Amino acid sequence: AATTDSYRPALHFTAKDTWLNDPNGLIFHDGVYHLYYQNNPVGNVWGNMSWGHATSTDLLTWTEHPVAIACDENEDIFSGSIVHDRHNTSGFGDGSTAPLVAVYTSAFKPGSLHEGVQAQSLAYSLDGGYSWTKHGGNPVLNRGSAEFRDPKVIWYDGGADSYWVMVAVEATDFQVVLYKSRDLKAWEPLSTFGPANATGGVWECPDLFPLPVDGDPENVKWVLTVNLNPGGPNNGSAGQYFIGDFDGTTFTSASTVTEGLQDPDRLGDYQWLDWGRDYYAAVSFSDAPENRRLMIAWMNNWEYANQIPTTPWRSPMSLAREISLQARDGELCLVQQPAGDWTALAGTESLHLSGTTIDDGVQVLAGAAGTVQRIDVSFTPGGAEEFGLILRGDGTKGTRVGIRPGEGTLLVDRRESGRTDFHDSFPSIDSAPIQATSGSYDLTIFVDRCSAEVFAQDGQVTMTELIFPAETSTSLAVYAVGGTATMNSLQVAQLG
Ligand code: FRU
């Protein structure tokens, strides 16, 4: 196979020479961020599902380790989470070390005892997450369902009555199911949530966490995130979220549109973790420092995941993002910022412009070329119906990141982004609703060798997209359609 290392990201994790999908078992432990992931240890398409493993101390550079939990003749190891069982509630500790406990989905194989069932199982580690032992009593939670998966376990702090809570999905029922346990082994049902809002595809990989509103510890809300595939706002895989309350038993949300009232044409009214095509299976870290809520997603889409033109590796993870909850215009929303240690990677500023008029047409910017960049740009509309940047370009061709002020949309147009021929649905124009802030549109864009991640409105709207430009497509241009616009400022920093 041809080498495609010009697509190998600089700032995003990829497995060296194998396939990956969902991030699993994200946890910060003993000063190290652990990223486990759905991995085919012997191939670069989905299969032989096992948990791969990588670690980082800065969330930008990752070290890959041997497979952590491997499939065997009985089960594939599907997605799940890890908790630090500080008080050894599970009894897996050895008297001196409190265990890390992985809660994962056993997808039982044909011919095995639980053939065709998906149930929840445990494995534990006493060496800080590097080697794992499967629990002899697996599975620990079996509903006899073929679509019961992706457990995320949290410690629910109810004072004297504190316990473990699991959120998982009945995927084809569009339902999050909540369970409770005191020892991670015996689970009792608490409640269910859904179907609600977007139900155009199976629900997968849920998460549940508290966040202070505008940083106020006296005003805490709970966030339930759930990924769905397909049925995202721009086709295929995506993640939606609900803001509400959790009382230790039930999650309730005022933003819930329930069964029968959902309208597949109103996806734009729901709240999305990301509006791009390539941000799926997003889930947050356990025990992140300073109560930060950090998320990573798989940067791919099941529509074409197995066909993206890279070898021997396939699929990057997204950048890690810090999530916060803010009240904006009277509505609560999640706001996201890249979370890595960017100070260590400040980059060299290669261009800094201000107060530039963008004429109708395309203008390539001198001194702005690159393949791994952070771009900060601010626009004010003029008469143009659309304006923006063309990145990883070849003059006028490239990936367009634009604004249509009349429509109030942010768009990523990757029809001329480079290689698009590997799947019919890849060359797309994708959009998200966006509002001007004090008359201007401010974007921060992280460009890597096969991706662009756009943070708009200070992180309220994000769009993450894969692109496969030629190695030589490095230009950055501005463009306007049908009139002019003003670029208030532009900063380009070369990274990686
Ligand atoms: C989401 C998903 C999960 C499942 C895993 C299998 O992408 O389908 O629901 O656990 O991938 O690899």
Which residue is closest in CA terms to ligand 1's atom 9? 204
CB of 39 within 6 A of ligand 1: the answer is no
Active site residue 22: yes
Distance 78 CA to ligand 1 centre (A): 6
- At the second CATH level, the architecture of 15-338 is 5 Propeller (2.115)
Phi, then psi, of 407 in degrees rounded to 5? -85, -20
The alpha carbon of 46 and the centre of ligand 1 are apart by a number of angstroms equal to 10
Query: What's the gap in Å between 327 CA and the centre of ligand 1?
Result: 32
Q: For residue 40, what are the β-bridge partners?
A: 19
Ligand 1 proximity of 71 Cβ (cutoff 6 Å) = no
**Is ligand 1 within 6 A of the CB of residue 21?**
yes
- Centre of ligand 1 to C-alpha 54, Å, is 19
Q: Phi then psi for 277, rounded to 5 degrees?
A: -85, -15
Ligand 1 touching residue 449 (CB < 6 A): no
Measured from the Cα of 280, ligand 1's closest atom is 7
| Mutation pick for ligand 1 pocket among 21, 174, 283 (CB with most ligand atoms within 8 Å) | 21
- The two domains 15-338 and 346-494 share their CATH topology (first three levels equal): no
| Ligand 1: residue whose CA is nearest its atom 6 | 78
Which pLDDT value is given to residue 347? 77
- N-terminal to C-terminal alpha carbon distance within the chain: 26
Q: Ligand 1 centroid to 418 CA: how many Å?
A: 29
Residue nearest to atom 8 of ligand 1 (CA): 204
Q: Is 150 in the pocket of ligand 1 (CB under 6 A)?
A: yes
Atom of ligand 1 nearest to the CA of 302: 7
Ligand 1 touching residue 64 (CB < 6 A): no
Q: Which residues pair with 24 in a beta bridge?
A: 36
- Please indicate, yes or no, whether the overall pTM of this predicted structure exceeds 0.90: yes
Q: What is the pLDDT of residue 261?
A: 62
Distances (CA, A) of 430 to 235, 415, 426: 9, 10, 10
Residue 204: CB within 6 Å of ligand 1? yes
Q: What is the CATH number of domain 346-494?
A: 2.60.120.560
Q: Which long-range contacts (CB under 8 A, 24 or more apart) does 408-411 make?
A: 408/433, 408/434, 408/435, 409/433, 409/434, 410/275, 410/434, 410/441, 410/443, 410/454, 410/456, 410/461, 410/463, 411/386
Cα 69 to the chain's mean position, in Å? 22
Q: How far is the CA of 396 from the centre of ligand 1 (A)?
A: 38
Kindly state the tokens that stand for 227.
């990924």
Q: Would you say 204 and 171 are in contact if contact means Cβ atoms under 8 Å apart?
A: yes
CB distance 256 to ligand 1 below 6 Å: no
HEC profile of the chain: CCCCHHHCCCCCCCCCCCEEEEEEEEEEECCEEEEEEEEECCCCCCCCCEEEEEEECCCCCCEEEEEEECCCCCEEEEEEEEEECCCCCCCCCCCCCCCEEEEEEEEECCCCCCCCCEEEEEEEECCCCCCCEECCCCCCECCCCCCEEEEEEEEECCCCCCEEEEEEEEHHHCEEEEEEECCCCCCEEEEEECCECCCCCEEEEEEEEEEEECCEEEEEEEEEEEEEECCCCCCCCEEEEEEEEECCCCEEECCCCECCCCCHHHHHHCCECCCCCCCEEEEECECCHHHCCEEEEECCCCCCHHHCCCCCCECCECCCEEEEEEEECCEEEEEEEECCCHHHHCCEEEEEEEEEEECCEEEECCCCCCCCEEEEEEEEECCCCEEEEEEEEECCEEEEEEEECCCCEEEEECCCCCCCCCCCCCCCEEEEECCCECCEEEEEEEEECCEEEEEEHHHCEEEEEECCCCCCCCEEEEEEECCCEEEEEEEEEECC
CB 301 near ligand 1, within 6 Å: no
Catalytic residue among 22, 207, 413, 430: 22
- Spatial CA neighbour of 245 closest among 222, 216, 214, 224: 222
Task: Give this complex's ipTM.
Answer: 0.98
Cβ atoms of 455 and 445 closer than 8 Å: yes
Which pLDDT value is given to residue 265? 74
Q: What was the pLDDT predicted at 1?
A: 43
* Bridge partner list, 465: 452
Tell me, what's the pLDDT at 138?
Answer: 98
The residues spanned by each domain of the chain are 15-338, 346-494
Q: Ligand 1 centre and the CA of 294: distance in Å?
A: 20
* Sheet containing 475-481: order of strands: 361-364, 475-481, 386-394, 397-404, 409-413, 429-433
Q: Edge-to-edge strand order for the sheet containing 163-170?
A: 148-156, 163-170, 175-181, 188-193
| CA dist list (Å): 35 to 224, 305, 463, 466 | 21, 20, 22, 21
Instruction: Point out the ligand 1 atom lying closest to the alpha carbon of residue 149.
Output: 10
- 50 CB near ligand 1 (under 6 Å): no
Q: Which of 37, 108, 150, 299 for a ligand 1 pocket mutation test, highest count of atoms within 8 Å of Cβ?
A: 150
Each residue's pLDDT, cut to its tens digit, for the chain (496 residues) gives: 445 689 999 999 999 999 999 999 999 999 999 999 999 999 999 999 999 999 999 999 999 999 999 999 999 999 999 999 999 999 999 999 999 999 999 999 999 999 999 999 999 999 999 999 999 999 999 999 999 999 999 999 999 999 999 999 999 999 999 999 999 999 999 999 999 999 999 999 999 999 999 999 999 999 999 999 999 999 899 999 999 999 999 999 987 877 656 677 778 889 999 999 999 999 999 999 999 999 999 999 999 999 999 999 999 999 999 999 999 988 999 999 999 888 777 778 888 999 999 999 999 999 999 999 999 999 999 999 999 999 999 989 999 999 999 999 999 999 999 999 999 999 999 999 999 999 999 999 999 999 999 999 999 999 999 999 999 999 999 999 999 999 999 999 999 6
Please classify residue 109 by burial: count the beta carbons closer than 10 Å to its beta carbon, then call 0-12 exposed, 13-18 middle and 19+ buried: middle
Q: Indicate if ligand 1 lies below 6 Å from the C-beta of 205.
A: yes
> Atom of ligand 1 at shortest distance to CA of 205?
9
Residue 386 Cβ < 6 Å to ligand 1: no
Question: In this structure, are residues 54 and 63 in contact, taking their beta carbons and an 8 Å threshold?
Answer: yes
- Report which ligand 1 atom has the smallest distance to the Cα of 298: 7
Q: Is 492 in the pocket of ligand 1 (CB under 6 A)?
A: no
